[in-house]
Structure 1
Amino acid sequence: MEGAGAAGRTRTAVGVTGAGGFVASWLVERLLASGRYVVHGTVRDPGDAKNAHLAAMDGAADRLRLFRADLLDYGSVAAAIAGCDGVFHVASPVPSTYPVGDPEATHLSSPFPLLPSFFPRLSHASVQSLLLQVELLAPAVKGTMNVLKACSEAKVKRVVVVSSVSAVMVNPGWPQDEVMDEACWSDVEFCRTTQNWYCLSKTLAELEAFDYAKRTGLDVVSVCPSLVIGPLLQSTVNASSSIIVDCLKGDHEVKLKLRNFVDVRDVADALLLVYETPEASGRYICDANARQVSDVIALLKNWHPAYNHATKFVQVSDEPLFSSKKLKALGWKFRTFEETLRDSVESFTAAGVLD
């Protein structure tokens, strides 16, 4: 799957959906830094200031082209993917109040404030449930299908789909004392019954991707990261980073539990690795470090005693443990949790997030 390497040789074009996002920005940076690729990035508005960091990257002037695209608009997706040898499907809807990989999250700030007036007999919880389905399920599943169909039309050689351990971890039938690996899938009906719409959206999208690959012969590989943290390239705080920010600012209630973390830079490296390794196939869990949130807060207090830090806590169930053995077998390496956490906080400070 690898493109030509040396300057002066033909470079391979690759697409990155949602190029301005947390993970995708680091992926674009890695692709440009390699010198091997021309990048077609999809964003909602190429002229938006929140995408300025992409244009400022080394190599962007010559080798980054941003396309205005909406994943639900097939024509715009197809235009961006045309001419690409490979595609990284990174974009996925994540409401800011519904953090990545957090099955306990229940609160959503409504983007449709008048909806309750149209359905006055619906409870608040029912309205929230409806909103989450509208905001998550259709964009995740239909958006993924639009990307895959466009990839088939463009004769793309490999598609790397960014999924999540959320598509792995919600499985009550998995033995409790057994580490979860790629064979474990979140139970679709259990997610639906418990109204766990984020996990359901990630699971359905990934299942649909592999089903499409089986039916069409398209080469699809997925990567399932745990909670992604690390330094920001984009100007806004994404959902997963906000979990660390909340530990430092003390504005919100913090869930105390065992969490699984991975550095955003290591996720970007993993995506490039599975793309460039011909024998890569199927799913790859991308998880690096499991830590109790209480230990994370203790570290932050020790390093940065001047911050307010979290004061409101609720104890919830621990996350399961995951195995990244399959990804490591390809040569994937990851940073220590301490390095990731330090770099995260330095990034938040520089961006003024903690002011």
Structure 2
Amino acid sequence: MIAKTLAEQEALKYGLNNGIEVVSILPGLVIGPWLTTTSVITSAQTILALIGGNDKFYEVIKFLDFMLGSIPIVHIDDICNAHIFLMEHTNAQNRYICASDSLSLKSLKDFLAKHYVQLKNSLMLDDDEQIERYLPVSSKKLLDMGFSYKYGLPEAFKEAMEYVIKNELLKL
């Protein structure tokens, strides 16, 4: 995360100093169906760690929640559409956050337990769950330009879950 942030800062600075228009998009955790049928992308592994019990990726999502105060999420199609949208707008500049939803780790677990009852016993739970300090990550700048999301949290998770189950990428 640090390397990506530093690279983005340098690219924006270089563009500013050399008269080059640079626009960056900071996506939330990307979910939905993806290209490969034999492995799961890192972003999806992080989200699915809540269900599948991958300790390494579960620590990542806890860290993300701790650092940001919430977990931003975006569907793969929406991030692709945001790239196209910003390329087509000549007034786009600097950085844009792209996340249709932003919720606390506890809220995300509650969503999964409610919408995927069959997975409830597989959810990772902590006895020392941190105090919820929900600080939504905002896509306001992108939305103010006229961008709209096609997928919300329920649709994005539905497609992701159908994909991992169909391709047997999640072992419960």
Question: Any idea what SS the aligned residue of 2:170 has?
Answer: coil
CA distance in 2, matches of 1:325, 1:210: 20
SS in structure 2 of the partner of residue 306 of structure 1 = helix
TM-superposed CA distance for 1:296, in Å, is 2.6
Alpha-carbon distance in structure 1 between the residues aligned to 2:22 and 2:54: 41
Of residues 315, 321, 325, the one that matches 2:140 is 325
User: Which residues of 2 match residues 131-170 of structure 1 at below 5 A?
Assistant: none
**Sequence identity (%):** 28
- 1:244 corresponds to which residue? 47
- Secondary structure class of the residue paired with 1:261: strand
State the one-letter code of the partner of 1:345: M
Q: Does 1:203 align with 2:5?
A: yes
Cα separation, 1, equivalents of 2:117 and 2:129: 23
Deviation sequence 1:279-315 (CA, Å, 0-9, x none): 2122212122122323333333344333451244253
Aligned match of 1:342: 158
Aligned residues: 157
Of the three residues 61, 68, 71, the one matched with 1:259 is: 71
Higher relative contact order (CA 8 A, sep 6+): 2
* Superposed counterparts of 1:1-355, under 5 Å: 198-199=1-2, 201-235=3-37, 236-252=39-55, 253=58, 255=62, 257=65, 258-307=70-119, 308-313=121-126, 314-316=128-130, 318=133, 320-334=135-149, 335-355=151-171
Aligned-pair CA distance for 1:208: 1.0
RMSD: 2.4
How big is the shift at 1:319? 6.2
Distance 1:268 1:287 in 2: 12
* One-letter identity of the residue aligned with 2:123: A
Q: Contact 1:223–1:283 (CA<8 Å) still a contact in 2?
A: yes
Rounded to whole Å, the distance in 2 between the matches of 1:276 and 1:345 is 32
Q: Report the TM-score when normalising by structure 2.
A: 0.77
Structure 1 unmatched runs, 5+? 1-197
1:71-96 CA deviation, whole Å, 9 max, x = no partner? Answer: xxxxxxxxxxxxxxxxxxxxxxxxxx
CA distance in 2, matches of 1:219, 1:270: 17
Contact in 2 for aligned 1:230/1:264 (Cα 8 Å): yes
Distance 1:311 1:290 in 2: 19
Max radius of gyration: which structure?
1
CA shift, 1:271, in A, is: 0.6
Larger helix proportion of the pair:
2
CA distance in 2, matches of 1:227, 1:297: 15
Q: TM-score, normalised by structure 1?
A: 0.40
Q: Report the CA distance shift for 1:292/1:214 in structure 2 as closer, same or farther (over 3 A).
A: closer
